[in-house]
Chains A and B, each alone.
Chain A
Amino acid sequence: MSGETILSVDRLTMRFGGIVAVQDLSFAAERNKITALIGPNGAGKTTVFNCITGFYKPSGGAIRLTHDDGKTIALERLNDFRIAKQAKVARTFQNIRLFPGMTALENLMVAQHNTLMRASGFTFLGLIGAPTYRDAEKHAIDLATDWLKRINLLDRADDAAGNLAYGDQRRLEIARAMCTEPALLCLDEPAAGLNTRESAALSELLLSIRNELGTSILLIEHDMSVVMEISDHIVVMDHGVKISEGSPRAVRDDPKVIAAYLGTDEEEAVAVMESGS
């Protein structure tokens, strides 16, 4: 593996009572790359995600995030909102979690909460209408507008998020995560429920995020066409342990991966893997 590591997961273990959901999982994600975490249903992918993004406290192991400036943060010690605020890790959810009663623009404004809070002097300056806050708000609206353009939803900016089409909601959720200006973007099944055309647009969006903004991406995905097309590195999990790792090509040809995906019926597994190539 070459390049700089942004996220390193070391012997991560997560137990729920007697059940071991993730056991001794170690992998690394490189800066400015797209790393995919795949595996059959129940492999423990979302559990890993929840550990990284602070929704679960790991039972054991270490998760280290290294920022641009070389500062390293122990994610397993931060909890809750601090992961997004201090460590700059943003995430989306498997079942979309937008603010349905707020407009698309408002959703993107809420994402910039911490920046705007500081600018509004923790509300007091904002309440008296200080010019510093007005400038900051204008800047925030510009950033939001920029993202709405990028995801092609500018004309729906003032519509309630809950009224958008499913594919639009998926993209809006990614834009909302990006509005927090993260170092690492974690996407939990971003292509779930999208049609072929929407998946292709999603791949394009993710590649543009990596290439133009240099944001590192970690994603869980079942849609192999997306995974194989955009990933730089793939980690395969099954039953809470890592069974394979490598480039898309290497993973696709790994017999262990094929066996994990479709039991021993290798013929079908090959068919699935090839549909993604």
Chain B
Amino acid sequence: MTPIPHETKHASRTAGIPALLKTALFNALIALVLFSLMVGIRTEAGSDGQLTYWTRFGELASLVAAVFGGSIVIELLRQWIGPSGAEKLVPPAVQNGMSFVGRYVAPVLLGFTLLMPVIFYDQRYILDLGILVLTYVMLGWGLNVVVGLAGLLDLGYVAFYAVGAYSYALLATNFGWSFWVCLPLAGILAAFWGVLLGFPVLRLRGDYLAIVTLAFGEIIRLVIINWQDLTGGPNGVSGIPRPSFFGIPLDNSDDGLAAKLGIEYSPTHRIVFLFYVILALALLTNWVTIRLRRLPIGRAWEALREDEVACRALGINTTTTKLTAFATGAMFGGFAGAFFATRQGFISPESFTFQESALVLAIVVLGGMGSQLGVALAALAMIGGFELFRSLETYRMLVFGIAMVLIMIWRPRGLIGHRAPTVYLTKAQAISSDLVKEGHG
């Protein structure tokens, strides 16, 4: 039986050259059609408002040639590596080393994060970036409950982020309530909105659910824009109080924390404090999610993702199970929102567009649905990486897009594609992502 695969491999290699040219020609043709209007012809409004145009056939030709050459190179590479070559290219020793490293990634990352404000005390930019990344880590972990565990595709997650942010902003500016009182309230209100949205929406499945959650996100944003009396409309809410160190303000006054401790005041104190607040919030999210996974409710979420009909046959109330997933995810979104409001000091509907939802969803999907470490790494890559490419200016989006495509080719099920069992008798074995369902509603 063994010679047959060899023969087919040879056959595909010898027949490769005409097929290769055919593929390359086809790709070049597509490029020609696409770019002939996009690049080949350039239009501009003239001085009198008339339309002027000129052609750029030279650039067009070079682009098409690049696509032609590029597809030949890619095809050759593919034949050289083989269909499942990515695994073979990595020697077993390196793979063992990688799994060894993999075990220590989470503790090392956590340790580094804890020490960050000490290491980068003087670099405000890095600390701000750290806070931003941690905010998205928290949002990713929150959405992971809904999308990764329960398998419900939520495209309107930013709505709960907005509810949390506006809850804190309005309660603090109107009634002068402190951050630490408003934080749980913001979470509860967001969870409440999660349930409210959930009731009508959770009867829908798959694409329909995604579209309605998308619409819900937009509804919340439009309500915020138009309810001028309450939310200030497009002007937003400004003058949101900064968080205090459990009642002691972090400012230059005589009651400030610096004065009380007898040290010189520095604005960095507040940044460091904010850093640890969001770190604590994110770790709380992580801890609760890990605990929930091992409780019956968490198992029911995952079972729901695997097979909803079977869940009903086992007496699991699928509606309340979905609602709890929605409410839990929304609550964490609300916490993150309240933090966002207190950090910025100013919020407006601009911050809660669909792009945010898409970004958080991308983090969850890129991280590997359901994996806590994966989501954290993905948030670091997406937010941190985006900053990293800042020096590339115009090409930033291009590089970023290419990186995303490459990751999806290399790891179609996300960075961490394994599922860890929640309970075991003898040994916890990671379950291959090929078996784990993504859920469909």
Chain A residues within CB distance 8 Å of chain B = 53-55, 80-85, 90-93, 97-103, 105-106, 109-114, 116-117, 120, 123, 126-127, 133, 137, 141, 145, 154, 157-160, 162-163, 176-177, 180
**CB of B314 closer than 8 Å to a CB of A:** yes
Interface contact A81-B315, CB-CB below 8 Å: yes
Which residues on B are within 8 Å of A, measured CB to CB?
A: 288, 291-292, 295-297, 299-300, 302-303, 305-307, 309-318, 324, 419, 421-429, 431-432, 435-437
Cβ contacts A to B, 6 pairs, < 8 Å:
A101-B435, A102-B303, A105-B421, A110-B299, A141-B425, A158-B424
A103-B424, A158-B426 known; A117 vs B312 contact (CB < 8 Å)? no
Instruction: Please determine whether A106 and B299 come into contact, CB atoms closer than 8 angstroms.
Output: yes
Cβ contact within 8 Å between A110 and B426? no
Collect the chain A residues with CB atoms within 8 Å of residue B300's CB. 110, 113
Give the tally of cross-chain contacts (CB within 8 A): 140
Contact B431 A160 (CB under 8 A): yes
> Would you call B425 and A126 a contact (CB within 8 A)?
no
Bound complex: CA of A91 vs CA of B310, how far in Å? Answer: 9
CA distance A90 to B424 in the complex (A): 25
Asked if A106 and B291 sit within 8 Å, CB to CB, the answer is no
Please state if A160 and B432 are interface contacts (CB–CB under 8 Å): yes
Please name 13 further chain A to chain B contacts, defined as beta carbons within 8 Å, in addition to the given A100-B437, A110-B296, A114-B316, sorted by A numbering: A80-B312, A81-B315, A85-B317, A99-B307, A102-B303, A102-B421, A102-B431, A106-B423, A133-B295, A154-B425, A158-B425, A158-B426, A177-B313
Q: How far is the CA of A103 from the CA of B418 in the complex (A)?
A: 13
CB contacts (< 8 Å) of B296 on chain A: these are 109-110, 112-113, 116-117, 120, 123, 126
* A127→B291 contact, CB < 8 A: yes
Q: How far is the CB of B103 from chain A (nearest CB, A)?
A: 19
Known: A100-B437, A101-B419, A102-B303. A126 touches B295 (CB 8 A): yes
**With a CB–CB cut-off of 8 A, which chain A residues contact B288?**
127
Q: Which 10 A-B pairs have the closest CB atoms?
A: A101-B436, A84-B315, A85-B315, A99-B306, A116-B296, A162-B435, A97-B310, A126-B295, A157-B425, A110-B303
User: Inside 8 A of A102's CB, which chain B residues have their CB?
Assistant: 299, 302-303, 306, 421, 431
Cβ of B319 to closest chain A Cβ, rounded Å: 9
B310 and A93 form a contact (CB under 8 A):
yes
- On whether the beta carbons of B431 and A103 are closer than 8 Å, the reply is yes
Q: Cβ of B423 and Cβ of A105 under 8 Å apart?
A: yes
Shortest distance from the beta carbon of B131 to any chain A beta carbon, whole Å: 28
Of the listed residues A92, A97, A112, A133, the one surrounded by the most CB atoms of chain B closer than 10 A to its CB is A97
Residues of B within 8 A of A55 (CB): 309, 312-313
* Residue of A whose beta carbon sits closest to that of B291: A127
In the bound assembly, the distance between CA atoms of A99 and B311 in angstroms comes to 9
Q: Are B313 and A91 in contact (CB under 8 A)?
A: yes
Distance of A110 Cα from B179 Cα, bound (Å): 39
Q: Given that A85-B315, A113-B296, A126-B296 are known contacts, is A99 also in contact with B431, CB under 8 Å in the complex? A: no
Q: Are B317 and A81 in contact (CB under 8 A)?
A: yes
B314/A90 in contact, CB under 8 A:
yes
Which residues of the partner chain A approach B306 to less than 8 Å between Cβ atoms? 99-102
Residue from B316, B318, B422, B435 in contact with A100 in the complex, judged by beta carbons closer than 8 Å: B435
Interface centre among A54, A82, A92, A111 (most CB of B within 10 A): A111
